[in-house]
Chain A
Amino acid sequence: MKSRFIASLLLGTALTLAAGGMASAGDKVVKIGALSDQSGLYSDLGGPGSTLATQMAIEDSGLAGKGWKIDVISGDHQNKPDIGTSIARQWFDVDKVDIIVDVPNSGVALAVNNVVKEKNGVYINSGAATSDLTNAQCSPNTVHWTYDTYMLAHTTGQALVKAGGTSWFFLTADYAFGAALERDTTAVVTANGGKVIGGVKHPLNTSDFSSFLLQAQSSGAKVIGLANAGGDTTNSIKQAAEFGLTKGGQKLAALLLFLTDVKSIGLDIAQGLNFTETFYWDMNDQTRAFSDRFAKRMRNGAPPTMVQAGVYAGLLHYFKALEALGENPHDGVKVVDKMKSIPTEDALFGKGEIQPNGRTIHTAYLFEVKKPSESKGPWDLYKLVGSVPGDQAFTPLDKSACALLKK
């Protein structure tokens, strides 16, 4: 009993517990759980910013003025699938959460995916890269917003081969995510007439890449594909500059790079890097307006990353579906079906749709990091070099391994 007391005290959910208790089929009460990495590797791209994006989505939806009661709780999965699933379970069972958003880290994302399906909730994943969420492990309760490994590999790979990067060498993080990125990129490279002449797998969280970079350098490949993430990517970019790879005419392709990563490397070293994202704060007036409001409320004044933008846009779409239903049926599959039936459109990602496998389709952009001389502000980091329409960037439905498609 004591720990239950502590629980309610700590989470400050005494009120919401009561609210959840009253929730029955069909009302206007919604409870959102923002589950993210609040303190580890991914906390910059998701974390507190995703919770803020959630709050902004609620405010901007204007539902509170229409008699809806919407609450948010946030949690830290600490990048452990165990903790992720137990928080998710508790949210559904005790706190009566309807929807879980964000969840970076593929391992945790897939684990939570199973819980949401079991509890028939709604799951809008924006933070995880794994394309398994809409393929082998797809679920009728899940919408995968923002990006996945297939899209990243496809867009960056195709663009660079077409720009003359015909021979590739991979630096791959030795785990499932890295392997998936390398596999998908290899497919694109060879399909477009390029070839992969070598690669090396490095352990996760390597601090020194010089050995691998030397191997990449002596391979003579035109493009060095970085199939890794976070600190591994930033360190390999930094050290590639040190070893003079880019000066020697080789091009770096970061297959997964976020705004916060580029910021942390600095333009001096990152300039000229090519990579793919689906959202950048400085795209148009609407994204700038949103990002201004967002940055003002962030502790460090940072504009939103694409993951945080995805949380916001995904939730707005969710609210649209709820409004169309007229009430919250507390039935995950029903709400997700409704979400799939309405085309998506918002200020951040533009027009798109949610496919039957749960994949959200929107335009993907190819960016290049600006030279220090081109940058006009602390966050003025990218220039747009190309875009790929959503239906070409993401997995075509006939190639998706999702069981939902074989009804």
Chain B
Amino acid sequence: MKFNIVLALPEIFLTLMIVIMLLVDAFSCQHKKHLNTVLTFITLVGGFILQILVFRPGTSAFAFNQMFILDTLAEGSKLFIYLFSIVILMYVKQYINDKKVLKGEFYAIFLFAILGMQVMVSADNFLVLYVGLELLSLSLIGLVALNRDSTKATEAAMKYFILSALASGILLYGISFIYGATASLQLRDITLAIYSMNGENNTMLLFGLVFVIAGLVFKLGLVPFHMWVPDVYEGSSLATLTIIATIAKIAGIIFVIRILFTALILLNKEWVVMLQILAILSLFIGNIVAIAQTNIKRMLGYSAIAHMGFVTFGLMLVSQAGLSAVVFYMLVYVITSLAGFGVLLLLSKDGFECEKISDLSGLSKIHPVYAGIMLLVMFSLAGIPPLAGFYAKFVILQALVDSGYTTTAIYAVILSLIGAFYYLRVVKVMYFDEKDANLQVAQATLSTRTILFINGGLIILIGIAPKFLMLISSIFLLG
């Protein structure tokens, strides 16, 4: 029995700070506007620093009786989650002030969600994985529901809750079968047990696998388990959506990598087929249906389904190249989307929510810089070089062709062509259409603007020198 509690120090610090924040919020007076923001900022920076301190490079350390793991994959994704969370905080703080949502609650639940992600990416045991996942899901549901006056938000929260609970049920059901077959919940022990079974008598195992996969792709939002995605995207406020659409996706992918590549790697013949079908469907439905959307949040929802499908192609290759392509794709996707949400958040002022595509009309005349950043985001998501998104698609396609999936690569390419259409439409609205009367640009603080510019600049910079981020993504997988 080894507890090795030091490894979980950042998570413990996070929990402590959340408790403090809840207390401060309860006892402080309403006009102290910035206290919550500052505390959240301190928490995130503190977590980031602690996270660096507890890790010794090149090692995989275990804590809590092997249930908690800190390897490069966990460490890398945790650091990026902290980093992206700080960026999100900078983007949303103005919006939160303007919107008069419950500020203290928002930040506290935001931190709870981050805690859930950190636990998820660090878990080496099915139960811990599940606990992290639930903490994340429930926090996100809470964030969606925070917008109490909106019927859409309430509906989205209900939908998210019910479907999420259902998915968790399916996942647990699958886990229980795997437990039945292997008599363990430790990811590593499961691999050993499957190895010793030697492919015989594995009906129960495969039965469990199907349910686990269904539960997993439910969380990722792949077709045919995607119904909740567009509704939740549409119903959430922009601030919440920024969290759901970016860092939560990273945690989700790492979670899937953990389960598939640590515990169930020996069953890859079976799950590769499933993933391929799911990815093909997601790419199709996501891209085609996105064309019909007029709400930019909903459009991004469908586009997220398509992007997740693309990522799944990388997962299904079961190779080092495929996995580092997946990590690279996710990082690029999140960096790109963050810049997009940053612009949308700055355009939502005094309770006006910038959510129709037509709300962006003539943005290039009102604020050419924001329009320029949004243009980069859209072209990057469409995968046009020399922007970051191109290399993300490129590495996946390359890994596909290298493994002999040339037809699949052609299919993926044709559907991303269809995808280019709806991204182009956003650019069209911003640059070719007349000005929208409602559109106003919020006065952003200098720090927020700087971060947004850096974020936009990164999209080009990664495009010019993608090597650096590719290197980071391959370091992720050393452990």
Does A associate with B in a complex?
no
